[in-house]
Structure 1
Amino acid sequence: MIYPENFEQKIEFFKIRQLLEQHCLSPLGKEKVEEMQFSSVFEEIDVQLSQTDEFVHILQEEDSFPSDNFYDVRPVLHRIRVAGSWIDQNALSELLKSMLTITSIVTFFKNDEEKAERYPHLMLLAKEVFVSSEISKKAERIIDEFGQIRDHASPQLSNIRREITSTLNSISRSLNSILRKAQAEGFVDKDITPSMRDGRLVIPVNPAFKRKIKGIVHDESASGKTVYIEPSEVVEANNRIRELESDERREIIRILTEFTDYLRPFLPDLLQSYEFLAQIDFIRAKAKFALQLNALKPNFENRLIIDWVQAVHPLLFLSLKKQNRKVVPLDITLEEDSRILVISGPNAGGKSVCLKTVGLLQYMVQCGLLVPLRENSQVGLFSDIFIDIGDEQSIENDLSTYSSHLQNMKFFVKNCSKHSLLLIDEFGSGTEPQIGAALAESLLDRFNQKNAFGVITTHYQNLKHFANENEGVINGAMLYDRHEMQPLFQLSIGNPGSSFAVEIARKIGLPDDVIAQASEIVGSDYINMDKYLQDISRDRRYWERKREEVRRERNRLNEISEKYESEMEEINRKKKEILAEAKQQAERLIAESNAKIESTIRQIKEAQADKEKTKRVRQSLTEFRENITTSSDTLQEVKPIRKKVKQKPVTQPQNTNLKTPIVTGDTVRMKGQTVTGEILEIQGKKAIVAFGVIKSTVDLEKLEKVNGNQRVKENKSSNTRDLLHDRKLSFKQDIDVRGMRGDEALQAVMYFIDDAIQLSISRVRILHGTGTGALRQIIREYLKTVAGVAHFQDEHVQFGGAGITVIDLD
């Protein structure tokens, strides 16, 4: 149920219909736009939303979907139900083209498993559509692609048209002969050619020579300077043409009547096919409109809920888009424990737009239209939507604006239920404020008792208190920049808003004494309450900024983490490649070593205790071992190669322990320690090592090399400490807020104290000056609320006294 009757005008839905009609291809779709209406049947709405969503994907991804020849021939099909009637030539052409379009659409969806998965709802819509290739073939034999009856539509028509052509050629020859003769005698100008008048071929002649050519004068030009004569020689032939044309018309009618008689039994099925074409045109228009709005199919649920993220008023979006401006999106949640939202805030702050956005988008969804909001939004289902907005003053019914509002409230109280959504603008306004506010509170209580959902805008303080104290009702505020004195058009749920009446009055130049007197009249409680609301608004904006900073920092850290993981994967990959290569190199070295040792043993045996020759062989083995050590820097260790030799005169080498020496530039650490450093210089058996910024001289035997991966892990663990250390070194323990406005100073102090606590600074100072003492008071009121502040006091009188506050932090 929708109330009142002009509901669509109040939320401007009639403009949505107009925009939809612009995307329709034919009257078929436009008719469906007119028939579109609000529904409360979940399954029906869900199917409509799914169909439109699938068509959005077709428009984005498919090139072969037909979009031509969406003709509406239903009026003709209804007309030819009567026996003896026939379809006219133009209608037959449109019938043929549109039937071919219907066939193409049905073929698009049939026998394609992939499309069945992607477009299930549209495929179901096309499943039982009537298409007949036989009807199309019969029509194509009658009419061509230009909408003309074919010569061979029947043998009789073919003969008639052949005789017409022959006769016309004969007439043309006769006329040309007569025309040449008349031109030779000077009766007719040289550039004159035969013309057609009333279906008869004639010669244009100057009136002075009209008696020189025998024949019938058929017409005269408007200027009277030309007459059109049909020569006697061609009169009979022209008469024959007339007879043949009549025969042609009768034969065409006979052909069309015969085709219509054949078509008549299929009319019910054809009408259903055009109903399908109308549905496709309508769904296509909805999909085109959705793309225009960046709209999507929401998470539609069969329950009472509104949980929208970045919802946008469609018409406002389109209007601002033309101006290269962006609309401020709306985040709003209405659910069981907070069903009715009471929005307060300054005039022209966006309260009414917020209310209209809720009404328009919910109505659009329940009309089967996609809506502009984020994918993670949840949209529920309501049985009724009631709206009270605008001036309903009526001279005829002698109703004032307030009386009209009360009539609506009477209807709402009587008919609303837990399935209803109420949208009420400027609740209780239009009469004396005290009684208006009281009645509004009473009505709000009734709506809450009935568990109705709703969005209500107001300026009344008592309604803000009611929302704060009663379960099911929640406050909301349209945010306002009190320094720039302009609305932000952002909805904040949880706290009431201030009307900023005093600030706005002061901005427009109302005298201060008038403002002061007004403040005295309403009393300090009201003024303090309004200031309290402004403070809440300010604090909320501050924490919102903080939250946004945290979010950005979290995103940055996530990016860094992803990059680090990616780089680690690349390092591990390269590590595996290096180890594999090193393994191959080690195996090659071992093989070469074994071969060299065996060769040495063989040569020693062959030397038979020749000391000089044995010495040379051993020297060769020593050089070979040194070469291996030099060429294997990438290896950490090569297993010792042992081979027993039974030869008494020679001492056999027991192993070739190949260990990479420490050189300048290597990363090392003290044996048994975790801190790494870099070799700066080697001096004999000692090395100069840089551990961070500290240089130390260490015995080489106390050091061991560290590979790159270990260094990365150790450096990473120290990055955070280094960052905090750098910030702590650059942190200034004094902040000067003199000359700032109260809110600017407070915001600066908030950031300053937050940083000091995070960096574990024990004492800080705030320079605020003495002046009126207001700035000092604001800052100290804030310090009382900060958990990390242990104590604060005036600075010593010699160093600034009451103009400086010294804070000790936990």
Structure 2
Amino acid sequence: MLYPTNLEQKVNFQKIKELLKAECSSGLGAEYVDKVSFSSDFRLVNKLLDQTQEFLDILISGENFPASNFTNLNPYLEKAKLEGAFLDQDEFHEIKLSLQTLKGCIAFFSKFGELYPALGQLLGLVLELDLGLLKAIELVVDEKGVIRSNASRELQLIRSQIIYEEGRLRKVMERVFKEARAKGLTPEDSAITIRSGRMVIPVAAENKRKLRGFIHDESATGQTVFMEPEEALDINNEIRDLEYMERREIIKILTQLTDRLRPSIPALRKATNYLGLIDFIRAKAKFAQKTESVKPVLVKERVLSWTKARHPLLELALRSQQKKIIPLDIHLGGQDRLLVISGPNAGGKSVTLKTVALLQYMLQCGILIPVHPDSKSSLFDNFFIDIGDEQNLENDLSTYSSHLMSMKYFTQFANKKTILFIDEFGTGTEPQFGGAIAESILLSLNKAGAYGVVTTHYGNLKQLANKNQGLVNGAMRYDVEKLEPMYQLEIGKPGSSFALEIASKIGISKEILAYAKSQIGDERVRYDRLLTQLENEKNQYSGLLADVQSKERLLKTRLQEYNELKETLESTKKRYIQEAKQEAKRLLDESNKKIESTIREIKEGKAEKEATKKARQVLEEFKEQVKPEKQAVKEPGVKVLSGKIGEGDWVRLKDTGTIAQVLHVRNKEVDLSIGDLKSTVKLARLEKISQTQVKKEKKTKATSGSFNANQKLMDFSPNLDLRGKRGEEVLSLIQNFIDEGYMLGIKDLRIVHGKGDGILREITRNLLRTMNSIQKVEDEHADRGGSGVTLVTLK
């Protein structure tokens, strides 16, 4: 049950319909938009939402789905159902394009039906369709909508004859025209042209008697006539007869093709409905993509729990002004069914009410809504709303009387399956009586178990909501210092109108305000002052809480980084100790073998002086081999040379300190030789150094390189997060990331760019394709990010 009759206009749903129609690619989809209606059938609404959500997934995935030729075939089918009637070639061309679209839809869901079950079920509308009809039409009508010459043998012969006769006619006309021009009978710069479908020659009017033929037309000035020469009359007549024969043969072909189509008319009508339905669902999905809408969790128990809800029309309007909307969090359910929102004028009370009303109505019409995916919603049988001025001069109803008529309807029909919305409850008459009546009505609606949102300025309604189960207060937050609304709903406390504060800020005299306070009463002033104080404290503590939460998040991040680093260091330490033990064991074993061998040689030589001396020398040489190298003193930093970098120069990478030699210089990129490796880097990342300094640097690297490499390896992360970066920022980040990974010998890298509009993904993939060090690029597994993450395998 809906109230009033113009409910869709009240909640601005008509504008939503207009935006949906704009997303449709045909009139078929627009017709379905006009049929959209409110429903409380859980299974139906759930199915409609699933269909739209699945099509939204198709749009996001970028899968190739038919996007055009959703044509209304019903007028053509109505014409074709009459025996003896035939469709022309243009009409068959439209049918052919629609059948190709249908074929594409069937092929898509036959392949991906398991991924999109709700949409796949719609294929039942086209199961009876004979796709052999498409092949029959394609044999007759070509890609441009013209009857093919090989549609029949007779047509092919006729068209061949026409081509032959037109060639003969052209030769005759060119000969006659050439002779006429030589005799000076034609105007200057004239040429053979067409009049009444026949080839003619322009002749000066004074010379028309000098050329035998038939005059078809004359110029606007009368100075030129267009004549068909006598020699061309028979040929033109022959061509005209052939054209009539061609037309009769085409009609025969089209009649036969229409007879072939006629038995498929019922199936084609269903297929037309399918095309309209798919176009309509796609329009809803495209609208959802623009408004970032989703399907909330639909539950059967009465609850409305939304986070980050946004009014789609308001958000689109703000987006066009480069502004952002402030999301809304709201919860209705259990003992908090009727929300009474209070607060200052222009503070966002009505916008909040209209947001909840519009989104609930959209949801029950099968349209995705802009909320967080974890939000919960249920369906209501009755949807009542009282917004705006319904003054009716014909029935002699005042504004307040019209509101009372709505309240009468609400109290008569409201129940536990009702959701209602009342804006500025109780206004329009004397506040003392209006507040009392509104209080009584609110109690009645609460007793009926109804759900909904009510906005008011009346203090007695705030107190009523504070004392009764089922009712809950809500306040629109307000910055008292700046006297600006914050457009944030806070559930659990009433809001102040801040009337005295606003009046004081504007500059109303103290005497006037003092008199107003005396009329209001000390108790009421203290109550309002308390609300103001609470709002100030709320704003202060909200700022402190946000600061603490930010620091806590930073602390958690640093703690996680510390733990990861500690784990890496421990792992590296254990590995180095294990390697050292293995090396020590190897050296000890080898040393023992050498000593035993030396002792054996001395014994076998019977302690001869020369043999003993030689054995001792071999042992001393081995001791030198296993003796630890002395740690070299680190040389001062490498001196950077000025001048242009050229082929053969030695350079150092600024960010990594790696020494390399230049192989080739190409514009802003340089091919380098780094030991046995080759790499391409940006010229801006390099600095030129001398060969003398290279030797010193290499010597220093020889003694300390192991430490630097290990440190680099520990500092390097195989994950690169580009989310939130601009396009021009990511290029250098990706280049450095790949170069470092390649030099450190890490084979598998991971780049996180997100899905979004796909811009970062496209920039990343295009850059990776140009790098020689990359072996393979692919999407991450769907459970771990899918197309929002690029996996890179290095050579």
TM over 0.5: yes
Q: Which amino acid aligns with 1:359?
A: A
Structure 1 residues 347, 597: closer, same or farther in 2, change over 3 A? same
State the distance in 1 between where 2:534 and 2:156 align: 90
Range moving further from structure 2, 307-316 or 206-215: 206-215
Q: Count residues in correspondence.
A: 630
Give the match for residue 71 of structure 2: 71
Q: Of 296, 300, 305, which aligns to 2:303? A: 305
Q: Which amino acid aligns with 2:61?
A: E
Structure 1 residues 466, 238: closer, same or farther in 2, change over 3 A? same
Give the match for residue 369 of structure 1: 367
Give the match for residue 668 of structure 1: none
**Counterparts of residues 42-81 of structure 1 (less than 5 Å):** 42-81=42-81
CA distances 1:222-253 after superposition (whole Å, capped 9, x unpaired):
34343322333333433333333232222222
Give the match for residue 196 of structure 2: 198
Q: Of 180, 183, 186, which aligns to 1:185? A: 183
Q: Of 110, 115, 119, which aligns to 2:116? A: 119
Q: Of 228, 240, 264, which aligns to 1:266? A: 264
Give the match for residue 12 of structure 1: 12
Q: Does 1:40 align with 2:40?
A: yes
Give the match for residue 415 of structure 1: 413
Q: Does 1:553 align with 2:551?
A: yes
- How far has the Cα of 1:67 moved from its partner? 1.3
Is the 8 Å Cα contact of residues 315 and 324 (structure 2) preserved in structure 1? yes
Question: Which stretches in structure 1 are left out of the alignment for 5+ residues?
Answer: 634-810
Structure 1 residues 464, 596: closer, same or farther in 2, change over 3 A? same
- How far has the Cα of 1:600 moved from its partner? 9.1
State the distance in 2 between where 1:469 and 1:243 align: 96
State the distance in 2 between where 1:222 and 1:608 align: 137
State the distance in 1 between where 2:234 and 2:163 align: 15
Question: Which stretches in structure 2 are left out of the alignment for 5+ residues?
Answer: 632-795
Q: Which amino acid aligns with 2:74?
A: R
State the distance in 1 between where 2:488 and 2:277 align: 39
State the distance in 2 between where 1:531 and 1:538 align: 11
Give the match for residue 682 of structure 2: none
Structure 1 residues 17, 583: closer, same or farther in 2, change over 3 A? same
Structure 1 residues 624, 76: closer, same or farther in 2, change over 3 A? closer
Give the match for residue 292 of structure 2: 294
Structure 1 residues 601, 511: closer, same or farther in 2, change over 3 A? same
Q: Which amino acid aligns with 1:122?
A: L
CA distances 1:5-52 after superposition (whole Å, capped 9, x unpaired):
211111111111111111111112111111122111111111221221
Q: Does 1:505 align with 2:503?
A: yes
State the distance in 1 between where 2:623 and 2:185 align: 127
State the distance in 2 between where 1:505 and 1:534 align: 14
State the distance in 1 between where 2:598 and 2:161 align: 119
Q: Of 582, 585, 596, which aligns to 1:584? A: 582
- How far has the Cα of 1:311 moved from its partner? 0.6
- How far has the Cα of 1:181 moved from its partner? 2.2
**Counterparts of residues 123-142 of structure 1 (less than 5 Å):** 123-126=120-123, 129-130=126-127, 131-142=129-140
Range moving further from structure 2, 136-145 or 79-88: 79-88
State the distance in 2 between where 1:53 and 1:587 align: 65
Is the 8 Å Cα contact of residues 125 and 274 (structure 2) preserved in structure 1? no
SS of the residue corresponding to residue 118 of structure 1 reads coil
SS of the residue corresponding to residue 200 of structure 2 reads strand
Q: Which amino acid aligns with 2:547?
A: E
Give the match for residue 450 of structure 1: 448
Q: Does 1:388 align with 2:408?
A: no
Structure 1 residues 593, 518: closer, same or farther in 2, change over 3 A? same
CA distances 1:492-534 after superposition (whole Å, capped 9, x unpaired):
1110000011112223332322222111111111111111111
Structure 1 residues 221, 386: closer, same or farther in 2, change over 3 A? farther
- How far has the Cα of 1:605 moved from its partner? 8.8
Give the match for residue 478 of structure 1: 476
State the distance in 2 between where 1:525 and 1:315 align: 42
State the distance in 1 between where 2:46 and 2:140 align: 44
State the distance in 2 between where 1:577 and 1:523 align: 80
- How far has the Cα of 1:59 moved from its partner? 1.4
- How far has the Cα of 1:201 moved from its partner? 2.2
CA distances 1:742-796 after superposition (whole Å, capped 9, x unpaired):
xxxxxxxxxxxxxxxxxxxxxxxxxxxxxxxxxxxxxxxxxxxxxxxxxxxxxxx
Is the 8 Å Cα contact of residues 332 and 451 (structure 2) preserved in structure 1? yes
- How far has the Cα of 1:205 moved from its partner? 2.6
State the distance in 2 between where 1:198 and 1:7 align: 61
- How far has the Cα of 1:75 moved from its partner? 1.7
Give the match for residue 744 of structure 1: none
Is the 8 Å Cα contact of residues 335 and 470 (structure 2) preserved in structure 1? yes
Structure 1 residues 301, 225: closer, same or farther in 2, change over 3 A? farther
State the distance in 2 between where 1:102 and 1:538 align: 62
Q: Which amino acid aligns with 2:187?
A: D
TM-score by length of 1: 0.73
Is the 8 Å Cα contact of residues 187 and 202 (structure 2) preserved in structure 1? no
**Counterparts of residues 522-541 of structure 1 (less than 5 Å):** 522-541=520-539
- How far has the Cα of 1:262 moved from its partner? 1.1
- How far has the Cα of 1:343 moved from its partner? 0.4
CA distances 1:331-383 after superposition (whole Å, capped 9, x unpaired):
11111210010000111111111011001111111111111111221122112
SS of the residue corresponding to residue 255 of structure 1 reads helix
Q: Which amino acid aligns with 1:358?
A: V
SS of the residue corresponding to residue 228 of structure 1 reads strand
- How far has the Cα of 1:621 moved from its partner? 12
Is the 8 Å Cα contact of residues 208 and 225 (structure 2) preserved in structure 1? yes
State the distance in 2 between where 1:525 and 1:514 align: 19
Q: Percent identity?
A: 46
Give the match for residue 249 of structure 2: 251
State the distance in 2 between where 1:172 and 1:589 align: 102
Q: Which amino acid aligns with 2:180?
A: A
Superposed CA RMSD in Å reads 3.2
- How far has the Cα of 1:190 moved from its partner? 4.3
SS of the residue corresponding to residue 246 of structure 1 reads helix
State the distance in 1 between where 2:24 and 2:108 align: 20
- How far has the Cα of 1:628 moved from its partner? 9.6
Q: Which amino acid aligns with 1:125?
A: L
State the distance in 2 between where 1:162 and 1:190 align: 35
Give the match for residue 516 of structure 2: 518
Give the match for residue 102 of structure 1: 102
Give the match for residue 686 of structure 1: none
Is the 8 Å Cα contact of residues 4 and 384 (structure 2) preserved in structure 1? yes
Q: Which amino acid aligns with 1:461?
A: G
Q: Which amino acid aligns with 1:397?
A: N
- How far has the Cα of 1:569 moved from its partner? 2.7
Q: Which amino acid aligns with 2:344?
A: P
Give the match for residue 220 of structure 1: 218
- How far has the Cα of 1:176 moved from its partner? 2.4
- How far has the Cα of 1:480 moved from its partner? 0.8
Q: Of 126, 142, 149, which aligns to 2:147? A: 149
State the distance in 1 between where 2:599 and 2:209 align: 142
Range moving further from structure 2, 350-359 or 76-85: 76-85
State the distance in 2 between where 1:247 and 1:58 align: 51
State the distance in 2 between where 1:628 and 1:209 align: 119
State the distance in 1 between where 2:408 and 2:574 align: 80
Give the match for residue 235 of structure 1: 233
- How far has the Cα of 1:603 moved from its partner? 9.6
Structure 1 residues 625, 162: closer, same or farther in 2, change over 3 A? closer
State the distance in 1 between where 2:219 and 2:439 align: 85
Range moving further from structure 2, 577-586 or 325-334: 577-586
Give the match for residue 281 of structure 1: 279
Structure 1 residues 625, 251: closer, same or farther in 2, change over 3 A? closer
Structure 1 residues 447, 190: closer, same or farther in 2, change over 3 A? same
TM-score by length of 2: 0.74
Is the 8 Å Cα contact of residues 99 and 131 (structure 2) preserved in structure 1? no
Is the 8 Å Cα contact of residues 195 and 216 (structure 2) preserved in structure 1? yes
SS of the residue corresponding to residue 126 of structure 2 reads coil
- How far has the Cα of 1:608 moved from its partner? 11
State the distance in 1 between where 2:317 and 2:260 align: 53
Range moving further from structure 2, 419-428 or 394-403: 394-403
Is the 8 Å Cα contact of residues 130 and 264 (structure 2) preserved in structure 1? no
Q: Which amino acid aligns with 2:497?
A: S
